[in-house]
Structure formats: C-alpha cells, structure tokens
Amino acid sequence: MLDLYPPARLLSGLLLVTAAFLAKSRFAIELVYIGVLLAVWATNVGMAHLRFVTFISTPLLVALLFIWGVIAAANHVPPPHHSGVDYAVFSWLRIVVCAGALQCLLVPLIEQPSHLKLFLEKSGLAGSLGTLIVASIIFLPEVRRRLRQIIDARRAQGYSLSGLRGIRDLPTLLMPLVSSLLDSATKRAEFWSHRGVLERTQFKGSPYSYSTQPSALALVLTIATCALGYFG
C-alpha cells in the first residue's frame, strides 16, 4: 500500500468526494470514477471495492433503476436528467465514487489512529483534543474487529450466517457485540484516566515514514480528476 502523507490522503479523499457532487453530467462522474478506480488500484483495496460494488451498491442500482426508470416514468415525474435510467446510473455512480474514495484514502487513515493523532498534533491541535477525535474514530474499526470475532465464534458453533439465516441471527450477534463494546468502553475510560492517556500529548518520535513523490502525485491526479469532472 502507498505510504501517503496523512494530509495528502485526507485532502485527496475529500476532493474526490467533493468532485462526485460537483460533476454535472454522467460523462463527468464517469471520469471521476476512473480516477477513483486508479486510486483503488494504487492503494491495493481492489477486492474490498469489488465486494462493495457487487454486494452493496448493485442492489442499490436495481432499486434506483426501478424508482427512476419504472415508478417515476409511470407517474410522469420528470427526472432531473434527460432519462430516468440516466439519472439512476448518475446517482449510483456518485455513491460508488464516494465509497471508493473512503475505502482507499480515508479508511486506512482511520485504521491507523496513531498516524492520525500525530498528524493532528503536528497541525497544532491540542494533544487531548486529538486523542478524543481519534477515540471517536477508532470506534468503527473496533466494532468491525469484535463483530468478526463474534461471527467466528458463532460459526464455530455450527451456525451458518449466510443468506436469510444470517439476517435472522443478527440480533443474536448484536447482544455480545453491544455488551463487549460497553465493557470495553468502561475499561478503556478507566485505563485512560488511570494512566493519564489524555495528558500524553506528544509522541517521542515518529516511527512512520511516508513517500513524498506518491503523495504529491496523488494530490495532482486528484485535482486533475476533479477539474475533469467539473469541466468535462
């Protein structure tokens, strides 16, 4: 994976999300998506993006096509574009672009909280404030990590969690998840207060190294993609 500087990563991600909303035509959003696909390839999250497109966004596309291509047409509701199908694809591409940008540029930043904390501290933010921001963000990967372990434990008991069975079993999985998250939050709050984590504002030395050229290149390419999307 590319070791992009956290500011470059953050800025590129935010620019691509902005470009998705600035793009005026379907051709423009397609150009932006090509830029996102390049970023997905460069940051090695191709499989995760493919899974998102296949299992999450495709049902959404079907729903959008049904709403704008069938229901809206039958009720003579004029779509914002020249055809309902065109508008459904346009809306879907916006969502996929945002998800792709998050997956390749922002999620790695969230999953490396110490990088984010160091970046916030170097940006002049008070250490305790940086720690609190990071603490609220690390909630997401923690939920994912715990859920994965709970799913493994459930599967090890012989329960299949695929298809409708998996949906039916969801409340069963939520109980240990919520309980362990509450327990962990209590223990972590105690640890922070006991060991003075909030007062630990400075890292003694950065163990991280970032690549300057790929970071600059990522920013230039993102800006170019945004311009193409906006003017294209």
Partner 1 sequence: MRTGVLRVNLHVLAGPNFSGRTHRLRVSVGLPSNPGAGPVYSEGAYIGPDAASAFSGIASTVAAELDLMAADRVSAKRAMRALEDLGFGYCLGLNPFTLSGGEQVVAAVVVATASGPKRLAIDCALEQLSADARTRLLAYLTTLDGHLTIADNRLDEWFHGREGVEELQAQPDSPMIHPDSSVTSESRPSRVEVIDLSHSYVKGRSVLTGLNLIFSAGELCRLRGPNGSGKSTLSKIMCGLIKPSSGEIRVDGRVVKPWLSPGKYVSYHFQNPDYQLFTNSVRLQLSQSKDPTALARSFGLESHLDDHPLDLPFVLKKRVAIASALARSTGYLILDEPTLGQDRISVINQNRIIAYGLSGLVISHSEMFSGLREITLPGPPRG
Six-digit token string for 200: 């630990």
Stretch that binds partner 1, among 15-23, 88-96, 144-152, 221-229 (CB under 8 A): 144-152
- Single out the segment in contact with partner 1 by CB under 8 A; choices: 31-39, 70-78, 200-208, 211-219: 200-208
Work out which of 74, 75, 124, 204 binds partner 1, going by CB under 8 A: 204
Please tell me what DSSP assigns to residue 43: T
Determine contact, residues 161/155, Cβ cutoff 8 Å.
yes
- In the complex, the smallest distance separating the C-beta of residue 100 from partner 1, rounded to whole angstroms, is 23
CA angle 222, 45, 152 (to 5 degrees): 145
CB nearer to partner 1: pick between 86 and 142? 142
- Interface with partner 1 in residues 99-128 (CB under 8 A): 111-115, 117
Interface with partner 1 by CB under 8 A: which range of 39-47, 85-93, 152-160, 217-225? 152-160
The window from 35-43, 181-189, 213-221, 222-230 that contacts partner 1 (CB under 8 A) reads: 181-189
Q: For partner 1, which residue of 140, 191, 220, 231 counts as binding (CB under 8 A)?
A: 191
**How far apart are the C-alpha atoms of 232 and 230, rounded to whole Å?**
6
Reported as half-sphere exposure (CB side, CA atoms, 13 A), residue 210 has a value of: 17
d(CA 91, CA 55): 17
Q: Count Cβ atoms below 10 Å from residue 213 Cβ, excluding itself.
A: 7
Phi–psi pair at 107, nearest 5 degrees? -60, -45
Pick the closer one to partner 1 by CB: 21 or 191.
191
54 forms part of the interface with partner 1 (CB under 8 A):
no
Listed residue (79, 102, 75, 108) closest to 91, CA to CA? 79
**Is 168 a binder of partner 1 (CB under 8 A)?**
no
Q: Are 43 and 104 contacting, i.e. CB atoms less than 8 angstroms apart?
A: yes
* Sole residue written with tokens 């709403």: 67
- Gap between the Cα atoms of 147 and 16, Å rounded: 30
Contact between 192 and partner 1 (CB under 8 A)?
Answer: yes
135 binds partner 1 (CB under 8 A): yes
Return the residue of 166, 176, 214, 232 that touches partner 1, per CB under 8 A.
176
Residues that bind partner 1 (CB under 8 A): 111-115, 117, 131, 134-135, 138, 142, 145-146, 149-150, 152-160, 172-173, 175-176, 179-180, 183-184, 186-197, 200, 203-205, 207
